[in-house]
Amino acid sequence: MVPKLLVFFWEKTKPLYLPLSWLYGLGVRVRRKAYEAGWLTRRKPAVPSVVVGNLSLGGEGKTPFTLALAELLKGLDLRPVVILRGYGGRGQGPRVVSEGQGPILGSEEAGEEALLYAFRLPGIPVVVGKDRLAAAELACERFRPGVLLFDDAFQHLRLSADLYLLVVSAGRDPFVERLFPAGRLREPLSVARKAQAVFVTRTNLFPERAEDLSRRFASMGLPVLRTAFEPGPLVTLTPSGFMPYTGRKPRRVVAFCGLGDPDNFRKTLEEEGFEVLFFKAYPDHYHYRERDIRRLSEKAASLGAEALITTEKDLVKIPIGVSFLPVLALSLLLRFPRETLEYLLSLFRSYSLCK
């Protein structure tokens, strides 16, 4: 977790880091070249594997995309297992977060993204590990999967997967971004050509930029598919997992989140008709404490808000029962258009993931 003040300082001073960005870019290129040339060893998992990744530091919509893809693979009876790094978790080594019946670890050990997958994907095991290959071995031993779905492993070059899918948000223009630390890019944009397809997300929020990005990635010789997010129902977190909120839908809310791109969340709330009386953006991957929720509850009460509202990824980290107001999450869904669905099915067949 990066302190908010440090992020603000970085945003204001990014151009100063251009020399460091050049050095970083050189290191990234040399590292990828070393793996591609065989100077460093890559390994392939024992079963077919799919990598979902991005080229930026976050906020691309990768999590909703991966959730939808996991459900699609399950629907095709391919017995997927989701594998993540477990960012934010403090556990050591590869570990099972869910056997398909909800989380068996907490967010402190597993990380909030893995916990979200465990809640949202019944019937699909979830495994985390900084070493994705070790996590893959554990997944194969425990669950005998038909396919491994790796979240955010585009830069994990020791892993050699069958299929690489790149997710890019229309909320930003990666073609004008610089490499870290002078910008948000983790790798040069030319690396996108290593993917079998590019999926542009948030097309409903930024239609003009989505059209422009689709055209520019297509000019690189890449198949480009566009997807839109749909706000789903309000949910609450119980000891049994996410449950639809059955109370009266609130309109006046205090909203908060700990995301890489909080503005998109606020924009979505406003488009859904919520009156956001106060908005608190915490650092990405923030670990909430009881006093954080109490302060937000007090703020909400003073403003006459009906509820606290956040994202599903944040809700899994909120202590239950701390707030005297409902603490809800606006679920985020991704439905593949027919064209995208047909393309994915043909891609799976061409890489022998399904018949």
- Where do runs of H (alpha helix) occur along the chain? 4-13, 18-36, 62-75, 107-110, 112-120, 132-143, 207-218, 262-271, 290-303, 312-315, 338-350
Q: Which amino acid is at 121?
A: L
Residue keyed to tokens 């309109």: 251
Distance CA 192, CA 220 (A): 9
Distance CA 182, CA 157 (A): 23
The response to whether 14 counts as a known ligand-binding position is no
The response to whether 59 counts as a known ligand-binding position is yes
Distance CA 259, CA 285 (A): 7
Residue 183 structure tokens: 């910008």
The response to whether 57 counts as a known ligand-binding position is yes
Contacts of 86 (CB under 8 A, 6+ apart): 95, 97, 110, 111, 113, 114, 128, 129, 130
The response to whether 187 counts as a known ligand-binding position is no
List the helix and strand counts (H, then E) for the chain.
11, 14
Q: Find, among 343, 345, 72, 354, the residue nearest to 226 by Cα.
A: 343
Question: Can you give the C-alpha Rg of the chain in angstroms?
Answer: 20
The response to whether 111 counts as a known ligand-binding position is no
Distance CA 340, CA 193 (A): 19
Distance CA 174, CA 172 (A): 6
The response to whether 61 counts as a known ligand-binding position is yes
Strand 229-238 relative to strand 327-334, pairing: antiparallel
Known binding-site residues for ATP equal: 56-63
Binding residues: 56-63
